[in-house]
Amino acid sequence: MPSNLLISLMTRPQSLILMCLVLLCHPAQANIEKQRQIFKQASRALALNQVTKFKQLLSRIEDYPAQPYLIYDALRKNINRASNEKVLKFLERYEDFPFSYHLRSRWLSTLAKRNDWQNYLVFFDNRGNARLQCLAFKARLKLGKIEGINQDIKKLWLRGYSQPDECEIAFDYFLDTYPDATQAIWLRIEKAFQARRPSLARYLGKKLSESDRKIVDLWYRAHRRPEQTLTRLVKLGDESINRTIIVHAIDRLARRDSLKAGDIWQDIGNKFQFNPDQRDRLVQRIALSAAYQHQPVAQKLLMNLTPELKNDQAYLWLARIQLRNQDWQELSKTISQMPKHLQQENEWQYWLARSLELQGFATRSDDILEKLANSSNYYGFLAADRINLNYHIEQESVTVADFDRDALLESNPHMLRARELFFLDRFVDAKREWFQALRKLDTPQLKQAATLASSWKWHDSAIKTVARTAHRSDYSLRFPMPYKKHVMNHASSRKLDPSVVYGVMRRESLFDPLAKSKVGALGLMQLMPSTAKHVAKSLGLKKLKVADILKVENNIKLGTHYFRSVMNRFDNNVSLAAAAYNAGPRNVKKWLPREDVLPADLWVETVPFNETRNYVQAVLAYATVFDKSRGKNTLISSRMHDIKSEY
């Protein structure tokens, strides 16, 4: 290395020196790093409307895999000034790119604004987006292409939830021309109530006669205040619509108070000519709701269901009630009566073994537990603890270390672009390319792809990719431990088990620091903004923005602090704390046993929310795997303290 270059490097930060040395040793890597920098410069120039500079920079990376994304950005930015020819040419050229789907959406919206309905239908690809579908209906109506249009509109009309404003023209046409518009309105009203959209039902009622509007208003009140409204309903005549509203009201009431719903049904069931489907619906709803609410009468109600009404949920909750009552003989019987696909699940194999053990059939129980103990999951770990076996957590690498990474990338343009987009921090685009790439891979290549993603520290994609294979033994891929310094520091300061923190983090986000849920939870530990702000305030921190909550250190700091608070709330019981982190302390309080202490595995199994039950089991199992990675041999049962009736 020339001495003047060495002198120059000596004046720069150490990290930059290291990067320069690496790049000098690897010309190909140096070139790709240079292209990434030019891409970022071009992106900034485009954002600042520096058109000439943007074009110059764009021309310098024509062979860069992600370069088309800049062309896409430029066209999207100027879509309102684009021509049909330019957009068509772009879509044809980049047909295989995920962004083509999204650009077509923008172009369709542009054509609609221009009232260019002829070209709208040329570009419309019959996608499922309701807003764009309704604009296509508008285009057909404008152009007189109405053959079969009412059947197409009807599919959207009969959805029980609100549709975009763009659908109003199509819906008005449908109601004006449909042979029985009133019947169509009533059908949608019923679907709206079933979908728990009472405001939509009330809005639709305005399209009916005054007498019919009164019926819809009554139905609305029955939805909102079922118990009070039922008193009035039973005094009305035995007419079809009244029976429908009564059934809806009792169903609604049962979800809140199954005992009251059962009493009312017992009183009026024979006073009205309910059809068999209505009777079956209510009998099943009341029985299942009683089970969810841990009512003592639930077992009897479920056992009295006819075979036709004993669906999977009925069998599952009958078994869970018997679990909670520790009625092992009846539990064995119920498991034997379950459909085969339920019987064979690890969950019910474990509880069958437990029930046999407690009835004195130790040999049969041990045989089942020994098979389960071969699995590295929640029930496998519980089974191993019961018969004192070691956990089956043995690291096996998914792929050989020396597979040709360059060949894999070059053979799959989607994967190559995904890599570049990931390093350019365009994570949404990267994920779209990545999962399009996976469609073309066989199992060995999927394993290699997971290894690649992990090497880039793209952990959520690595975990999702290896999950597409039957391979479950590469724990370094499936259970990485990123952000170790932050996790260890905050776990230590709050006296939390780092393995449990990692278990929560993996279940919440798969270690995606920018994860956002449908309900608005953010970051690695999926904090709701309201929760994050409340915790921040208690710590004396400034008001947080979304960007602040997504920062790795902030998210872990706030998440561990909140987890510590629920641990304190429930006397350091990990099972209860995990449940509270997922469903809230108030729900957990409602689920506590009423009198006797319950073993933790039994309590977890009878949590009413499927999501929370699965969540607690996952956190406990994941923590066990992370223990192994940390050189610890903690038993899952050591974290599962008995559940008391009060905390």
- Which pLDDT does position 15 carry in this prediction? 38
Helix or strand run (H / E) with residue 407: helix 405-410
pLDDT for res 512? 97
Domains of the chain, earliest start first: 405-472 (1.10.1240.20), 486-639 (1.10.530.10)
Residue 19 tokens, joined: 């990067």
Judged against a pLDDT cut of 70, whether residue 1 lies above it is answered with no
What span, in angstroms and rounded, lies between the C-alpha atoms of 191 and 168?
18
Q: What is the 3-state secondary structure (H, E, C) of 468-518?
A: CCCCCCCHHHHCCCCCHHHHHHHHHHCCCCHHHHHHHHHHHHCCCCCCECC
Tell me the pTM. 0.88
400: pLDDT strictly greater than 70: no
Contact 337, 321 (CB under 8 A): no
Angle at 129 between CA 127 and CA 131, to 5 degrees: 125
Phi, then psi, of 522 in degrees rounded to 5: -125, 140
Q: Average pLDDT of 31-35?
A: 95
Cα separations in angstroms, 591 against 12, 154, 256: 60, 43, 15
Q: What CA–CA distance (Å, rounded) separates 430 from 233?
A: 56
Q: What is the pLDDT of residue 11?
A: 36
3-state helix, strand, coil split of the chain in percent (to 5) is: 70, 0, 30
- State the pLDDT at residue 20: 39
pLDDT-derived band at 6 (thresholds 50, 70, 90) equals: very low
Distance CA(298)–CA(296), nearest Å, equals 6
pLDDT at residue number 12 = 39
Give per-residue burial for 206-230: e unless 16+ CB within 10 Å, then b. ebbeeebeebbebbbbbbeebbebb
Q: Can you give the pLDDT at residue 232?
A: 93
What average pLDDT does the structure give for the chain? 93
Using the predicted structure, report yes or no on whether residue 14 has a pLDDT greater than 50: no
* pLDDT surpasses 90 at 87: yes
Reply yes or no on whether the pLDDT at 27 is more than 70.
no
What is the C-alpha to C-alpha distance for residues 451 and 462, in angstroms, rounded to an integer? 7
pLDDT per residue as tens digits for the range 558-617: 999 999 999 999 999 999 999 999 999 999 999 999 888 999 999 999 999 999 999 999
Give the pLDDT of residue 83.
97
Contact 525, 558 (CB under 8 A): yes
pLDDT class for 30, splitting at 50, 70, 90? confident
Q: What is the pLDDT of residue 21?
A: 35
* Predicted confidence (pLDDT) per residue in 92-131, tens digit: 999 999 999 999 999 999 999 999 999 999 999 999 999 9
